[in-house]
Structure 1
């Protein structure tokens, strides 16, 4: 009896040990997170193995020397058992801590900071990463390119698809959004402007320096997080829905440009209110815009809650079309982001089509008139036709096919399904993917689901075929003729510049 009990116990212990060994064998050892998010066009942008929830960015910046020092705290969750992880960053790092323990760090490749925690991290665990750093951002380049731009009175951290590398470490891909706190100490008399709302007014921090604080309350992509430092005049208001309206104008703008810019940007709240009736409820807590000093940048960018505009957009007078374009991005690109940069037409096609809709609203030309004008005046061998919007390639990622042909695709969809279904598709799209990301395939599937129509041929012709689609009833050759439609008034004024001046 006693021998039987001992034998039984021994057998049980053997089985338990065998089971534990089998379990250990099944669970893989912690592994490095991927050094890229798997983007189709930029495979090394972003990183794998973790998901960021929040960035806390604290900086001190001196315009005279372009020296920036900072501490960024990243709150994230591991999506796998991690032995190490990557951040996208360029400045000089002095220390990294992971979960309150010093971590190893090293450079790898053009913009990768490889972080090795003192202890591995299990899947599902919270991660707190603290990076201390400093440097002269304008001295850092990747492939000869520097996104950080010094200005006559400060600096600009504005760019697409990359900008974060030059001023804070991040998981730099739009598929991993987070909330943000951005706090910047700059010399007295200089403004530091970023996204969202101000949780507190500027505070005198030390003799000669004032700290500016900004907070983004909704998920935000890294490239949409911006910073401009300089001397600005600011106007503030509260919109009808309670959101803060914050507009800023460089003090270096000459009077004529300042008037034209203000006549445009001060309509932001009105334009966003209109957009809410077309695209669905406005998704963010603030709205506004920033107009830069003359000669800075050559584009506008849809920074979340606060687009930024080159002064050149207003050299011929007011330009509400560019305000419409950038604020349409608050829905298309900011709230609903692309899962991969290949799908950028979902951002730019919608923003460009918003201009057409605004033109209809203001009786300056119908969407059909703009479509007809573009179709008739674009030669068959132009990039707008030889590039497929749904897969334009890196070289044409921000070309005419993505912007104009993207808008033309949407107009063809509207014509095919009718206004009721078209605008239901648009509002359902922004609601279903609010604060997330999406793909072309998801959009085309939604369009077929809501309309109940087979739209394969339409999308194949307009999104995927690198050739000029033939319109029903039109001749096969679409060469220019003497009967070229006249450009609608508003379209002629903006000259199809959209976000890029002299594109």
Structure 2
């Protein structure tokens, strides 16, 4: 039976070969046409690497388990580094690299529905590479940090790099003794491989977009312990934090509490572990890496900052579990996470969402260029503009004003449940909002997301006056966080 299956698997009829075609080098994203690839879907990444901090040398193999979705003569992976060999189902394949596209030509055409084992061996120095003109791999005094959006995977593993194709991950990386190597999910093992190598192995069993995988290599104070809800809590703080260290710990160590509060609005936490990593690497932003956000230490000067922790943890639901189907819908990530900061502020007694949204609306003049950026389709240069964050959050406050609290929070919980581990669009969110509320909401979303200029009525409705004459206590911190993140990424 096994022999028969093998014979069928290797046979490609002349007719099948004739209708085969290359898989598309892009998945069809509006902003990044070469992101992702056509012709296959990925089930699992097994990334097994070694890294030498002294010279930024990264080498090893990535094994990809995938399935073809059409008859293909060749297919692409998104990758920047120098490749030495590629195997497809244990047979050598031809390959070429050009500008982040690794094009692979198997020894014979592949029929639709074929399971693939793709092994890519590579060795290079990641820091020197750019994609869309941007760097992402950041070296530090003791290692490197690989985390960014919307692109980071091509700097360290070949992938189908788009949120539409999520997969499970095993990440194993060997580093010199005295250096930690951190990634997503559960820490499975730390093993001495040889006098010069210690291998760290991580596993993520929830579907994950490639850009949400991360590496943080360096010297960290690492804690792995059961959290108060029974999930493993993994936190790590760079040894170089200095005076910012206590404030960072006082913020990130509240992760389990913040998650439990966010569950009231977004539903059950969607992943297997929780925690956070604080780096001192000049990152300039925080990043919602799945299961374990990465924070730059600058967020914790001059003191604690649970607001940014609430923002990145909210992304575990909106951004990580429910991901954008197209990068033009980025407000579904950033507007929602910013609104979570408003909700956390209310929980802390430092200003309600209505107060914060209204104050932001009132204090940005109508002629400010802020109002010309459209959160629903901001364009690549403005994809992470502060308007995507703040006007996106104001959109949610306007929705809450229009439909009432019961319907609004039902919309949030239904959104994260219906699209769990998948992707969704702005049109999907509008349709859900109308379904749950029983209201026609096209005008509201058109005004707030797609119309240039300052809306004539604020986020609390046309009859609202300024909700507070004083600035909400948390306001400056939220603005600081958003300004850092929108400038840094």
TM-score (normalizing by structure 2): 0.93
Among 486, 489, 497, the alignment partner of 2:473 is: 489
Q: Secondary structure at the match of 1:342?
A: helix
Residue deviations 1:221-279 (CA, integer Å, cap 9, x gap): 1110000100000123323432111000000111x300100000000011011111210
Does the alignment pair 1:174 with 2:158? no
Of 457, 465, 478, which aligns to 2:451? 465
Q: How far, CA to CA, are the matches of 1:501 and 1:410 in structure 2?
A: 20
Count of aligned positions: 472
Answer whether contact 1:348 1:402 (CA < 8 A) is retained: yes
SS at match of 1:185: strand
Of 146, 163, 182, the match for 1:193: 182
Distance 1:332 1:286, change over 3 A: same
Structure 1 residues not aligned, in runs of 5+: 1-22
Aligned twin of 2:211: 223
Do 1:312 and 1:501's aligned partners in 2 also have CA atoms closer than 8 Å?
Answer: no
Match of 1:209 among 182, 197, 207: 197
Distance change in 2, residues 1:485/1:496 (3 Å): farther
- What pairs with 1:370-381 in structure 2 (closer than 5 Å)? 370-381=356-367
* Contact 1:405-1:462 within 8 A present in 2 as well: yes
Give the Cα separation in 1 of the matches to 2:313 and 2:79.
Answer: 29
Q: Which residue of 1 aligns with 2:220?
A: 232
Q: Which residue of 116, 120, 141 corresponds with 2:109?
A: 120
Question: In structure 2, what is the Cα distance between the partners aligned to 1:86 and 1:493?
Answer: 43
Superposition map of 1:231-310 within 5 A: 231-254=219-242, 256-293=243-280, 295-310=281-296
Task: State TM-score, norm by structure 1.
Answer: 0.91
CA distance in 2 between counterparts of 1:124 and 1:499 reads: 46
**Paired residue secondary structure (1:497):** helix
Larger radius of gyration: 1
Instruction: Tell me the distance in 1 between the aligned counterparts of 2:283 and 2:259.
Output: 24
Matches within 5 A, 1:314-463: 314-463=300-449
Secondary structure in structure 2 of the residue aligned to 1:198: strand
What's the counterpart of residue 104 of structure 1? 94
Q: Is the 8 A contact 2:89 2:118 kept in 1?
A: yes
State how far apart, in whole Å, the 2-side matches of 1:315 and 1:104 are.
51
Q: 2:149 aligns with which of 144, 160, 183?
A: 160
**1:306 positional shift:** 0.6
SS in 2 for 1:176: coil
- How much does 1:211 deviate? 0.2
2:59 aligns to what?
Answer: 69
How far residue 470 of structure 1 moved from its aligned partner, in angstroms, is 1.0
Distance 2:57 2:112 in 1: 38
Preserved CA contact (<8 Å) 1:390 1:463: yes
Residue 139 of structure 1 and its aligned partner are, at CA, apart by 2.0
| TM-aligned CA distance change 1:406 to 1:454, over 3 Å | same
